[in-house]
Amino acid sequence: MCGIVGIFRHEGQVSAELYEGLLMLQHRGQDSAGMVTFDGVRFQERKDNGLVANIFDKKAIDSLKGSVGIGHVRYPTAGGLSATEAQPFFVNSPLGIYLIHNGNLTNVDELLMGLGGRMMKTTSDSEVLLNVFAEDIAQSITSNPGSDMEKVAFDAATKTMKKVRGAYSVITMINQVGLFAFRDQNGIRPLVIGQRKAVDGSDRDEFCVASEDSAFGPLGFSRVRDVNPGEAILITPDGRLESRQCVNGKISPCIFEYIYLARPDSMLNGISVYEFQLELGRRLAKRIKDRCEDDDWEIDVVVPVPDGSRPSAIEIAQCLDLPYREGLVKNRYVGRTFIMPDQRTRELSVRRKLNAMRSVFNGKKVLLVDDSIVRGTTMSQIVQMCRAAGATKVYLASSAPPVKHPNVYGVDMPSREEFVAHNRDEEGVCDLLGADGLIYQTVEDMLQAGRGMNPQIERFDASCFDGDYVSGDVDDVYLENLSGAGRGKGRKGASAPAR
């Protein structure tokens, strides 16, 4: 999971706006950030490990000249944790191309074999993707000398999409061509287009392409549409928006985006993240009501685990006619524990991140609502906090079904053994977490919630819940190799603290 943004302006410096866009996407990656701008003559680049605000001070922003640029925040799922793995990546030939990528490729070894003499500087699949695309551009130029560079870029993207499997939402800057973006044929990771009138007051159009449309608001862009699965778009140096359906596509977005990854104020693939989370709460409330009747759950108060569970928790409290209380106070200066790169850092961060208010919990039977329970690291400690704050009963409700399978498309949870629900039923998970009761969302209710909001989506990628991978090339051998490669809590360099 990463956040990407590209902005085209007719005049003025784009770096400050890229900075604002990356701040709005910081939730998608906290390991590193990078930015590159283009002034029509040369590229200017800066990238490093750390948060956006720590990497880009005023001096850095002022040094990034140009009216066109791209930016990236990284949560590493492939490659190491070194700053050399930070994006954007660059190749000088042909033309000069910078690339940023959100997703994860599933046929990297095959792609590397086809690259011949091209050498990689990192272990990142994004660098492999860049070199595949660059090689296809070079071949298009060679086989069609004198061809229009726009056609060359679209032809190359078509060739690349026919080779590459997995999840990829990509934004590039190509010298002599423009800002060029494309999305995989399943549309697994989001990519959306924004538009505004030029900041110089003229009637010319300016554009933004980003992982989420929540990045548009502070910059004055209005949402136009999603980039379609299998589509490439080009914003030319003179500000024209061109597009081509390069390969046949059918939208099958990752449903975990709506549960955990995306901001609630984003609209992805025609579905409001916030409305989706409310619907999850309504559906889960019906199951909780049955559990209260069948298993004698007695609930005094509903408390969310901040922040992602709030919409569902609010809806559950309303449906069950129970008081809703903010009983867990969040330290805003601690990062998201799930996307921290190693288990020890996650565990140390939980108690720095949350504190239980005794006035809410003392003497109460509490229903804690979380958006998902993945490793159980956070939840087991929260249950202990609630009891220490005086809760007499602690029941748990997860807005998502149990996570039982690796997500190979850009979320770092590839090893089955890391999941608290691995080889455990609901009762077993409940005992391990130390709760008095546990209820999960069902997979079918979750999928129905999504389909009900956009009937055009016939299939979501819900592979981390049901083991059904939309790219069609993921089997047990692939998953075993992925786990053995050192991803997840076994990732090389994972002892480094998350930033």
Domains and CATH numbers, the chain: 2-252 (3.60.20.10), 272-454 (3.40.50.2020)
Biggest alpha carbon distance in the chain? 78
Q: What is d(CA 475, CA 465) in angstroms, rounded to the nearest whole number?
A: 15
* pLDDT value, residue 177: 97
Element (H, E) at 23: helix 15-24
* pLDDT reading at 489 higher than 60: no
Q: What is the number of residues in the chain?
A: 499
The pLDDT confidence band at residue 116, using thresholds 50, 70 and 90, is confident
Number of neighbouring beta carbons within 10 Å of residue 239: 15
**What's phi and psi for 372, nearest 5 deg?**
-165, 155
* Residue whose pair of structure tokens reads 């990297």 in the numeric block: 108
Could you tell me if residue 296 is left (phi over 0), alpha (psi between -120 and 50 degrees) or otherwise beta?
left
Q: Tell whether pTM > 0.85.
A: yes
The pLDDT confidence band at residue 434, using thresholds 50, 70 and 90, is very high
pLDDT in tens, 238-267: 999 999 999 999 999 999 999 999 999 999
Tokens, residue 98: 């910078």
Q: At a CB cut-off of 8 Å and minimum separation 6, what does 429 contact? A: 373, 376, 402, 420, 421, 438
pLDDT in tens, 14-52: 999 999 999 999 999 999 999 999 999 999 999 999 999
The pLDDT confidence band at residue 125, using thresholds 50, 70 and 90, is very high
Number of neighbouring beta carbons within 10 Å of residue 33: 31
Query: Known catalytic residue: 246?
Result: no
Amino acid identity, position 179: L
Judge whether 371 and 341 are in contact, CB under 8 Å.
Answer: no
Report how far apart the first and last C-alpha atoms of the chain are (Å, whole number).
Answer: 15
Q: What is d(CA 326, CA 366) in angstroms, rounded to the nearest whole number?
A: 12
* pLDDT value, residue 80: 59
Radius of gyration of the chain measured on its C-alpha atoms: 23
* pLDDT value, residue 496: 27
The pLDDT confidence band at residue 486, using thresholds 50, 70 and 90, is low
